[in-house]
Amino acid sequence: MNDILKAVGIGVLVLVLLVGCAVASAALGWITLPIDLFSRGNVQEQFTTGYDLYESLQGTAQAVCTAEAAVEAESNPDARTQRQSQLIAYETNYSRISADYDKWSRNIFEGGLVRPSDLPDRAPSLQNMRMEVCQ
């Protein structure tokens, strides 16, 4: 009987140690989160992501301007319809990139806390970006 109690006691001790290690590991993860968030690697990654998204917005807005000019210049009705379809595709792409930028910017583990100061909190509207990039 005494051996059974020792075995149960050792089993309980092992179980308590395992649970304690799991709890400590989870707590340590939350404790190190600020360090990881502002680490050199994460800051570099978030800056790269932010600039890539913003430059994609600029490039897509420029494509919208070019497509608008092509629609205006087109005299063939069939070709004009095709140009309008291309314009709609560029506008849709801008909306998608804008949503990705806003998602990145709102997420505190991504661009929410670690974002270049020269990038806006939210993606500019297509109209505002067109005013910035189109001649």
The tally of domains found in the chain comes to 1
What is the tens place of the pLDDT at every residue in 66-107? Answer: 999 999 999 999 999 999 999 999 999 999 999 999 999 998
In a domain, 49, yes or no: yes
Report helix, strand or coil for 135: coil
In a domain, 118, yes or no: yes
Please tell me the predicted confidence (pLDDT) of residue 73. Answer: 95
In a domain, 95, yes or no: yes
In terms of residue numbers, what domain contains 126?
A: 40-133
Mean pLDDT calculated for residue range 121-133:
96
pLDDT classification of 46: cutoffs 50, 70, 90: confident
Q: How wide is the angle at C-alpha 92 spanned by C-alphas 60 and 69, nearest 5°?
A: 55
What is the tens place of the pLDDT at every residue in 10-25? Answer: 666 666 666 665 555 5
In a domain, 104, yes or no: yes
Please tell me the predicted confidence (pLDDT) of residue 113. Answer: 81
Token code pair at residue 19:
């649970």
pTM reported for the whole predicted model: 0.74
